[in-house]
Structure 1
Amino acid sequence: MSKRYFGTDGIRGKVGQFPVIPDFVLKLGWAAGKVFSREGHSKILIGKDTRISGYMFESALEAGLSAAGVDVLLTGPMPTPAVAYLARTFRADAGIVISASHNAYYDNGIKFFSSEGTKLPDEIEQAIEAQMDIAMTTVDSAELGKARRIDDAAGRYIEFCKATAGGISLKGLKIILDCANGATYHVAPAVFSELGAEVVEIASAPDGLNINEKCGATATQRLQTVVTAEKADLGIALDGDGDRVIMVDHLGEEVDGDELLYMIAAQMRREESFHGGVVGTLMTNFGLEQAYAREGIPFVRANVGDRYVMEQLYKHDWLLGGESSGHIVCRHLTTTGDGTVAALQVLKAIVETGETLNTLRHGMTKLPQKMINVRMTQKHNIAEVEEISVAVAKTEAQLGDRGRVLLRPSGTEPVVRVMIEGENEEEVNSLCQQLADEVEKALLALESSE
């Protein structure tokens, strides 16, 4: 499949640069509209996060879809997982999210969901790709699509999230909630407070430019400070589009996606609702894999990215998967990663066990991890570089079964990520530097010979 328009997480880029420019978005809306309306009249739901360019792209998508004869449902600012949910609820033919997730305000992107709230099938993506190469035309005036705003979109999603918590009461818990000045600013506070928690909000006043700015799931320093200053029970940090969550315990220590995934699996086992195993990624801490092995829980690693986690979940027919970054999929509850829903599953474990977040996180022990980025001037298939393979084998032999080695070319930067995990931090740091030096030496020799 061509990647000119679709990536593993939709279309994403800096505003004003190809492909994320208004005329491209207009054409994309039209192309999607033509594909979805082939079998009759169609309607598509559009949501967005809080970055300023969302207004422009929302209008462009709406115009393109209308020109193709497709009706449009507008939710306004809404978390990515909410759009997946609402597309199902309103029986839309597709859902579109205008967001660049955890990126800065000047980036934006577009992601599609099917009518079932899942990623689009490859054949639909390919059909939209093909339509993009056809000259844009407009249907007759009487057949133009109509647009309407869904006034109760936020309320519907709030009630959905609360329902996933299984009727628990959060009364007595003081929670600091960081909304990243993003799409959850008007829904997440209501979810937790309506379940009884005392909620102190931070980064919940978006202005179009401050999304993810020194806040949210990718920057928890402020949250950590506020949690301890307010003597709160815990903190919750969502990212700009609400599909990731990182938490902070009462001591101000960050609790990442691997630890949260472990807690949710443990709670599901207590409830006897656990099925199969758990999907992680290549970046999942080895300590989580060890913990699952001790408890007899099957575990597989997917490539980095929510698309690949979902592929493995469907392949094995499992219910739970996620990433260290806090993108956690509870497939028994929803169809995509949802930071608010995942946080509620952790809170359910806290309420029903009577334990603190700090205590529950110690069910697994994270191993020391070190990563070094080695720059390269051009892309290489590092698996075919003999000197690198030899260096990796040597490092793996030194680690034995006490850790693991990972070399992963970045998908967005001209670097190879060299990562080592192990039981001894000093050894991990030393081996990682040695291997990074060997990789750099091999790449320099390769590039100088070309």
Structure 2
Amino acid sequence: MADIHFGTDGWRAIIGEDFTADNLVRVIDASARVFKEDAIAAGRATDGLGTIIVGHDCRQDAHAYAQLAAEVAATHGFTVKLTQDYCPTPTLCWSVAQDADAVGGIMLTSSHNPAEYLGVKLRMADGGAAGKEFTDRVEAAFSDKPTSARASYVEVDLMTPYLRTLKEAVDVEAIRSAGLRVVIDPLYGAGRIHLANLLREIGVEVCEINNACDPTFDGLHPEPIPPWVDRCLAKVPELGYDAGFINDGDADRIGAVDEHGNFVNPHRIITLLTSHLAEDKGLSGRVVSTITASAMLARQCKRLGLELTSTPVGFKWIYAEMEKGDVMLGGEESGGIGIPTHVMERDGLLMALLLCETMAQRGMSLGQLVDDMFDKVGKLEFERQGLAITDEQMANFRANIVPAYAPAEVCGKKVVDIDRRDGVKFYLEGDAWVMMRPSGTEPLVRIYAEAETVDEVHDLLDAAKAVILA
């Protein structure tokens, strides 16, 4: 039996290696045990334990694995509802939150990981990610051998009510009147067909690429960052369209492309949507971002008089802030952005609709919106890289660099502050920064940097690598 652990957001493993039917049964059996403990503690036992909803993405045999998960969860006395077909993670989260009888959700996905991976995300009754305390209890409940018990479930349509809600969240008439033309790139993931058809329904001309039923993802990693977005970067200017939107494998993240074929990274999307929600839609509340967020977002919040709260990496930390209340928007640099009045989770489809709404209401292309934002908060460049290192180097990184490394300057820029909540981040003069942290989902160190020029960013990344590899 594999040694199974939950990372930043769930358990992920290679199909046929550690992700096997037996190991999935162990994970679902333990998860259902913990859901049951909490249901009983909440007094649900007298009226039935409640409902668990199960969803899955587009990976190899994902529906069959989801059926198995549903059968195992049902043995613990829950009513189990299984999606009829693949669905985005935000669909599962929204469905759980809207079902008064639901105690939680189980999503079979490996998010942005390569095609050979599959995994499990656990969601709480409000649709938010299970916290560490919950997943620690799940790990403690693992059985050495998979149970053979199975029970029945029902298949349900999760997509129709969810898509109806997305349409209700934006100004459809403004979008219809704008005559927008966009490219949609689901990267072969769970957003395929759904977002494109929804946009067509509200009057947007759509060209959808990378939308075949192909569990190999045609060799692409379903992550909405370069180089995996290159096809979309080329397609938008080729067609002369207004923008392009890219979702990850389970469609809870977003990346974008402007009319010139420039990548609009999540930093810029979050900063832009903060302005749209506050200035165009009249919303208020805190903005919550992970420690890897752009200084542009801090400048935007200061300009708009909004409080900005910073968290460690992982949307579960943003969810924890959403639980406290008074949050308008939460986002992370990897492209996960959520609005708690919709659901306490990320939603890449809703963010695409909101970007269309922003273009329509302001009468500007995506590139013009970004340029206008730069005029108001300044322009910064950003890049993230993954560095594979040896076990010995990782041990040194965790034991020495993260807790103790404290240079006075980096690349000639004075260090003005240090944050060690999640790896180590050095704030530098001029709003530049560089950060190093061990990945929660892959065996590598992630390095992040932001500065006024691309060359400065690359210098900061190289300096960080030199420290890690020394």
TM-score band (shorter)? 0.7 to 0.9
Given residue 102 of structure 1, which amino acid in structure 2 is its aligned partner? H
Q: TM-score, normalised by structure 1?
A: 0.86
The change in CA–CA distance for 1:225 and 1:185 in structure 2 (over 3 A counts) is same
Cα deviation digits, residues 291-325 of structure 1 (max 9, x gap): 43344433233222211222334446322121222
- Counterpart selection for 1:157 from 155, 162, 179: 162
- Residues 1:58 and 2:63 aligned together: no
After superposition, the CA RMSD in angstroms is 2.9
Alignment of 1:431-446 (within 5 A): 432-434=461-463, 436-441=465-470
Query: In the alignment, what sits opposite 1:266?
Result: 275
Q: Between Structure 1 and Structure 2, how many residues are aligned?
A: 432
1:383-430 Cα deviation digits (max 9, x unpaired): 5675x3236578551752342232323345565445443335444544
Matched, 1:422 2:451: yes
Q: The residue matched to 1:236 in structure 2 has which SS? A: strand
**Which residue is 2:9 aligned to?**
9
Q: Deviations over 1:228-251 (max 9, x none)?
A: 111111111111101011111111
Q: Residues 206-217 of structure 1: matches in 2 within 5 Å?
A: 206-210=213-217, 213=220, 217=224
Q: 2:9 and 2:206 mapped to 1: Cα distance?
A: 32
Residue 114 (structure 1) shift: 1.5
User: 8 Å contact 1:51–1:211 — kept in the other structure?
Assistant: no
Aligned twin of 1:175? 182
> Are 1:277 and 2:286 matched, yes or no?
yes
C-alpha spacing 1:435/1:220, structure 2 compared with 1 (3 Å):
closer
Aligned to 1:102: 112
1:36 and 1:42 in contact (8 A); partners too = no
Q: Is the aligned partner of 1:83 residue 2:92?
A: yes
Matched, 1:74 2:79: no
Higher Rg of the two aligned structures:
1
Displacement, 1:432?
Answer: 4.6
Counterpart Cα distance in 2 of 1:435 and 1:114: 37
Residues 41/145 of structure 1: CA separation in 2 closer, same or farther (3 Å cut): farther
Tell me which residue corresponds to 1:390. Answer: 407
CA contact (8 A) 1:176 1:226 kept: yes
SS at match of 1:324: coil
What TM-score, normalized to structure 2? 0.82
Match of 1:27 in 2: 26
Mapped to 1, the partners of 2:402 and 2:120 lie a distance apart of 35
Find the counterpart in structure 1 of residue 429 from structure 2: 400
- Alignment-mate amino acid for residue 81 of structure 2: L
Task: Provide the rounded CA distance (Å) in 1 between the counterparts of 2:353 and 2:384.
Answer: 31
2:423 is matched with which residue? Answer: none
Unaligned runs of 5+ in 1: 442-450
Match of 2:13, SS state, is strand
Deviation per residue, 1:10-41 (Å, 9 max, x gap): 111112333x2211211332333334344334
Give the match's secondary structure for 2:327. Answer: coil
Amino acid at match of 2:168: A
Moved more, 300-309 or 401-410: 401-410
C-alpha contact 1:14 1:107 (8 A) present in aligned 2: yes
Deviation string 1:180-229 (CA, Å, 9 cap, x unpaired) is: 11111232122211111111111111222227726662321111211111
Of stretches 417-426 and 245-254 in structure 1, the one that deviates more from structure 2 is: 417-426
86-95 or 6-15, which deviates more: 86-95
Give the SS at the match of 1:390. Answer: coil
Structure 2: tracts of 5 or more residues without a match: 416-427
Other-structure match for 2:422: none
% identical equivalent positions: 25
Q: What is the SS of the residue equivalent to 1:337?
A: coil
The equivalent residue for 1:198 is 205
Pair 1:381-2:399 in alignment: yes
SS in 2 for 1:93: strand
More divergent stretch after superposition (396-405 vs 340-349): 396-405
**SS of equivalent to 1:389:** coil
Equivalent pair of 1:330/1:342 in contact (CA under 8 Å): no
Counterpart position of 1:448: none
Whole-Å separation in 2 of the counterparts to 1:178 and 1:347: 15
Q: Is the 8 A contact 2:129 2:319 kept in 1?
A: no
